[in-house]
A and B are shown apart, each in its own frame.
Chain A
Amino acid sequence: MSPQLEVQLIAAVVAAGCAIPGVFLVLRRMAMMSDAISHTVLLGIVLGFFLTGSLDSPLLMLGAVLTGVLTVSLVELLQRTGLVKEDSAIGLVFPALFSIAVILISRFAGNVHLDTHIVLAGELAFAPFERFELFGIDWGARALVTGAAILLLNLVLVLVFYKELKLATFDAALAATLGFAPALLHYGLMTVVSLTAVGAFDAVGSVLVIALMIVPPATAYLLTDRLPRMLGFSMLIGIASAQTGYWLAQALDGSIAGAMATMTGVFFGLALLFAPQRGLIAAALRHGRQRWEFAQQMLTLHLLNHEGTPDATEENRAVTLAQHLRWQADFAAQVVRRAEAAGLVRHDSGLLTLTDSGRQHAQQAFVRG
């Protein structure tokens, strides 16, 4: 496999793997927790490195997962004092743990391949050169093997615990009364987030980990209102971001991780604008349509109220309409034009009369109200 292809494959499996726990983080409104965890796991890696003296030991992974869970516990501990809110608690805990890791690295690990720049941005371009060999066989780039393992693990976990995760996320109290231990699921999810973060950031850096965990699920959330589809879309959007990000990086000759993170943002922006139901454009169109519908309803209602009364010739005139309904003259003229086109009113020498369907239209307003 060519290194270029391998880089894209690594990015794709990492993106898909990150999206799965990310969906639940987004739905639990815990997006910032991914930010915290993906930084603090560094402390676990550093401490694991000091203990074992090696960067390849599985103890590093374990240390990272433990610090991830520690981060969540500390945040919740602070929050439970009632003195700080969750976002502040996250903001207090993660810089503390992260900075300890940075100091430790700069002071004691200056000579090893463990530098803070790589932690933040990763070095995807070099990932294919670190191989994973077992029983004398080259199984592929180390990052690819780790990424695939994490993707597989997350897929299995979400399939096995789908019902439990959904319930605990939607209604933790019901989950607790039914005996589903939401706290256990919560920490289980946080463990998975930590594991995913540490496995992924080795290859792509912590910034891309956050982007891949949060942005594709947030994008998918705009596109669907079914959880299974949200999971699927998130993975696909993550993969698409990784792929297009890679091409962007090639074109710009820039950082691959940076380009991929940018592309997650581009996809989110597109969904924000063009999502069929929740997108801004769909909402604006809907709003515009409702404005005209409402105006027409008002017009027909006004005509109905004064129909057959002595002041009808005064009230139901196209010219005086704007004045009576406090509309702008050209807006009123346009409402009349549209209502006429829709067959709701007739316009005879300045006098407006309702058609039968216009009368029905007006009566609907009462029904709806």
Chain B
Amino acid sequence: MQHAIDVTDLTVAYQDKPVLWDVDVSMPPGVLMAVVGPNGAGKTTMIKAILGLVRPAAGQTLIYGKPYREQRKAVGYVPQRGSVDWDFPTTVLDVVLMGRYGSLGWFRQPGKHERAQALAALEKVGMAQFASRQISQLSGGQQQRVFLARALVQDAQVYFMDEPFVGVDAVTERAIVGLLQELRAAGKTVVVVHHDLQTVPEYFDWVTLLNVQKIASGPVAEVFTEENLRRTYGGRVAFLSRDDGTGSGPALVLPTPAKQSSAFTD
């Protein structure tokens, strides 16, 4: 079967400090994959390398068998919420419209059709009534929904989301998870940089454990194990085995009280 994403021998270094060392990850289409790992593990860097935002020192990344350049229109990207200036003088609808710019190409301005698409996407994330709101007036969760709507209008095959759950309330988290599942049901592939280890088995069906090197990558039931987590986070997490009834059997993971590990708090 054609893989949705193929990362082979990917090595990225900032100056001469390696951030990713010879990482291989392949995932089939139609799955939700979490990328987890401690701070500085290279999670964001891996996504940026796949999207051509950082130049790899070695290795290659393919989307549906082709380099990213040829697949721009098949890929949607949700950057970290904090990566943009929310005081920028523009409206919610306008930000969502930016998701259509890729299809429009240079010079063409968005029109009625694009506006309708953007409004529909806002409707999907429950933000339609905020369409003409100035973006600085949004809460963190609302900002995240706007970013999601912007990715939705890209109408991509593969989505990359960098920490979409950071700083959002429980209601928004539920809403986002619902959207991810909808995307999967529509055959899309979604890669999410994720921090909350406890929700990995519940939200995702694939997981990549990363700490500069790839520790493991595959179906959650197979690779989200105590042993792999220990190797990823080094002994900074404790494990309480729990049968969650799904038969997948991964552990409930809690931080050791002595070192409120950074893996949970950032």
Contacts and interface: CB of A to CB of B under 8 A. Distances in A.
Whether chain B is bound by chain A comes out as yes
Interface of A: 27, 29, 160-164, 166-167, 169-171, 173-174, 176-180, 221, 224-227, 229-230
Contacts of A230: 89
B90 A167 contact: no
Contact of B89 (A171, A173, A178, A225): A225
Interface in B47-69: 48, 51-53, 69
Contacts of B77: 173-174, 177
A275 B143 CA distance: 26
A173 B88 contact: no
Contacts of A178: 72, 101-102
A275 to B, nearest CB: 13
A39 to B, nearest CB: 27
B85 A170 contact: yes
**Chain A contact residues: helix, strand, loop or mixed:** helix
B10 to A, nearest CB: 17
A106 to B, nearest CB: 42
A178 B68 CA distance: 10
Nearest to B90: A227
Contacts, number: 70
Given A166-B90, A173-B77, A178-B102, 10 more contacts: A27-B85, A163-B107, A163-B109, A173-B48, A173-B53, A173-B83, A174-B98, A174-B150, A178-B72, A179-B69
Contacts of B199: none
B95 interface: yes
Interface of B: 48, 51-53, 69, 72, 75, 77, 79, 83-85, 88-91, 95, 98, 101-102, 104, 106-107, 109-110, 134, 136, 150
Given A177-B72, A225-B89, A171 B98 contact: yes
A27 B107 CA distance: 21
A170 B51 contact: no
23 contacts: A160-B107, A163-B101, A166-B90, A167-B98, A167-B101, A170-B88, A170-B90, A171-B84, A171-B98, A173-B48, A173-B77, A173-B79, A173-B83, A176-B52, A176-B53, A177-B51, A177-B53, A178-B102, A179-B102, A225-B134, A225-B136, A227-B89, A227-B90
